[in-house]
Amino acid sequence: MTELTVSHDRNRDHHEHHGSEQAPWPGISLSWLLALAFGGLVALSVGAVLTLSVRANFVNTLSLLNTRAIELIDGMERQITAEASQGERVVDALSALYRDGDIGLNTTPGQHAVLTGLLRTAPSVKGILLLGDDGSSASMFRTRDDVFAPLPAELSGETANEAPVQDLRSLFDLGRISQAARPVWGRPVPIGKNLFHNVALPLKRGGNTEGVAVAVVGQDMVSQIMMRLANESDATVFMLSEGNGVISHSRLPELFRSRDIISIEDFPDEVLRELPNAIEDRDYGKAAERGIRVFTSKDRFGGHIFLTRRLTDYSAEPFTLGVYFRATDLGAEMLRAVNTLLVGIGGMLAAVIAAILLGRRISRPMSAVAEAAAHFSDFRLDDINPLPRSRIREIDEQAVALNRMRTILLHFTRYVPRELVARLMRSGETASHPVEREVTILFSDIMGFTSISERLNAAEVAHVLNQHFEMVTRNVEDTGGTIDKFMGDGVMAFWGAPETDTDHVMHAVRAAEAITRSVHQENSERRLRGETPLRVRMGLHTGRVVVGNIGGPDRHNYTVVGDTVNVTQRLEQLAKDIMKPGDEAVVLASCDVVDAARGQADFTPAGTRLIRGRENPVAVAVLNTRLDAADTAA
């Protein structure tokens, strides 16, 4: 069943040729000519070699700097992800425990043990809050002494041992959290005198949302991460908000104990204040491809290099992770690179050649990927060859993904007509909307197939049907038709949709003739193999129908419905009465088809027939198909 979820002229130069002057040309001696020629060639060769070597060295050095920038930022992001994911794992676990009834929203010793165990497995998580929609709650926090207690006074700012958790409800967007299907991060919230980053998930049981689970990460933990990253990279690490506000700094963590953001213009780091005025360096192309921006600033310290990347996870709003270090750190590397190049010109030439060969080798699979993507966009799956595997991880992942997509789509097209998908893609989004349109419909059926199949095993039955359906599909699509569905051993097809076809009647007639000839040809081959020939009857009718996507919210059929469909099916059934013992294929058409054909096809009137659902008899005719000599040889 068809389912769709589915020249200008080139200018020429003209030259004027002047006659020879009588005065002699200015001359030059052969010695000077040879000296200048050899000297110039040597100078040009050496200069070219030196220029190419130095340029290649600088390019290679910039590539290394690109790699260093990528590795540095990637490493930092991985560590932030590892820390932040602890909070997500905690709320995922809480959601699962609550769903299974292992925890509730009341404070009990057993529940305290569960919450304490979760906190022990997530050192970055400061505390857990369970907030019920009915006002119930439970909590567990890690104190400075690594003791676990429900919201201790050192966090809440209260003198009592426990502050009411209900007071914290206003800090969280409970409505947004209750609709989330995955952990959601909120803005930093104040709990007592401390700021906390937070991640939450709804608590559901029996399909109903009954509260939310919140894991909080202290601002001090974020500062510790920043300081650890700074120590590992020997640089200064910072985080900026969307509006260029500073939200964390590895050297000044104490500034963020009671506030979550400081304007960069007012921040006490003189170097960081220069970032808005820094100039973006366009030489770091590889880093830019990975979302890393590189800036250089001029200051009284000799200038600095800034590396930044915009991150969208682990926060309610996107933020920028950044690091800066002295520009002189790169200057020394550049100088060493130049000296190395000047000393080892030959080695660098080999490296350049190797780099070129490597680049070409890398570009080949990328070109194949681009070509495959173009074929995918045109739905030309047969033109896509499986992409080879690569030792480069990203390219290999692309190849594996595209090969898998190709396999999936090839399987998909066994259930959804490929040509129909391509036509709908060409026709635009509205092509599948239900509309009323005049089309021509064909029904076909194999007579007596039940008795034939009784003498065959399952594999043989499937082979016969697949071979027959392939033939019908080919002839239908070759004439611009669409296969609607396969019904047992029958086929339903139509012409005139989704693309407009002003000659849909004749296209359907030609398809019926082609099917008739194919049946005769295949039967000749079946007789040679000692197999029973197939007898096919067809009904052909034209009229107005509703065509488009029809079905439920999760499943649609691109199909046609209406009285025309019913009449066509009845004609196919009536063809059984018209079919003579020696006939291998009979096409019974309505008078509407005969009239629309306007003499372009040969029909033999077959009288009128009463059709169920019609008050008046319908005039019918048999389509006469001229068979080739090869078709009638049997």
Q: How far apart are alpha carbons 485 and 488 in whole angstroms? A: 10
Distance of CA 534 to the CA centre of its chain: 45
Q: Which DSSP state fits 371?
A: H
User: What b/e string do you get for 330-367 counting C-beta neighbours within 10 Å, with b at 16 or more?
Assistant: beeeeeebeeebeeeeeebeebbeeeeeeeeeeeebee
Q: How far apart are alpha carbons 106 and 104 in whole angstroms? A: 6
Distance of CA 579 to the CA centre of its chain: 53
pLDDT at site 623 = 95
Q: Which amino acid, residue 130?
A: L
Q: Do domains 82-221 and 236-336 have the same CATH topology?
A: yes
Q: How far apart are alpha carbons 309 and 9 in whole angstroms? A: 49
pLDDT at site 89 = 92
- Tokens, residue 36: 């200048």
Q: How many CA atoms lie within 13 A of 499 on its CB side?
A: 16
Q: How far apart are alpha carbons 228 and 234 in whole angstroms? A: 10
Q: Which of 107, 214, 115 lies closest to 161 in space, CA to CA?
A: 107
Domain 430-632 CATH superfamily = Nucleotide cyclase, GGDEF domain (3.30.70.1230)
- Return the H-helix or E-strand segment holding 495: strand 490-495
Task: Provide the 3-class DSSP secondary structure of residue 506.
Answer: helix
Bridge partners (DSSP) of residue 195 are 190
Q: How far apart are alpha carbons 469 and 233 in whole angstroms? A: 66
- Return the H-helix or E-strand segment holding 335: helix 328-343
- Tokens, residue 186: 């909120």
Exposed / middle / buried, residue 137 (Cβ in 10 Å: 0-12, 13-18, 19+)? buried
- Tokens, residue 141: 């926090």
- Tokens, residue 456: 């065959």
pLDDT at site 591 = 94
CA angle 612, 615, 619 (to 5 degrees): 80
Q: How far apart are alpha carbons 147 and 141 in whole angstroms? A: 8
Q: How far apart are alpha carbons 34 and 41 in whole angstroms? A: 10
User: For residue range 552-572, what is the model confidence (pLDDT) as tens digits?
Assistant: 666 667 788 999 999 999 999
- Class (C level, CATH) for 82-221: alpha beta
Q: How far apart are alpha carbons 414 and 3 in whole angstroms? A: 11
pLDDT at site 150 = 80
Which numeric CATH code is attached to 236-336? Answer: 3.30.450
Domain range list for the chain: 82-221, 236-336, 344-412, 430-632
Q: Which of 199, 206, 221, 174 lies closest to 93 in space, CA to CA?
A: 199
Q: How far apart are alpha carbons 356 and 492 in whole angstroms? A: 57
Task: Provide the 3-class DSSP secondary structure of residue 440.
Answer: strand
pLDDT < 50 regions, the chain: 1-24, 29-35, 38, 157-166, 348-349, 352, 630, 632-634
Q: How far apart are alpha carbons 129 and 107 in whole angstroms? A: 11
292-297 sheet: strands from edge to edge:
262-263, 245-249, 236-240, 319-326, 304-311, 292-297, 279-280
pLDDT at site 390 = 75
Q: Which DSSP state fits 546?
A: E
Exposed / middle / buried, residue 572 (Cβ in 10 Å: 0-12, 13-18, 19+)? buried
Q: Which amino acid, residue 287?
A: A
Task: Provide the 3-class DSSP secondary structure of residue 492.
Answer: strand
Whether the CB-CB separation of 574 and 539 falls below 8 Å is answered with yes
pLDDT at site 200 = 92
End-to-end CA distance of the chain: 35
Whether the CB-CB separation of 324 and 272 falls below 8 Å is answered with yes
Exposed / middle / buried, residue 79 (Cβ in 10 Å: 0-12, 13-18, 19+)? middle
- The answer for residues whose C-beta is within 8 angstroms of residue 111's C-beta and 6 or more apart is 103, 104, 138
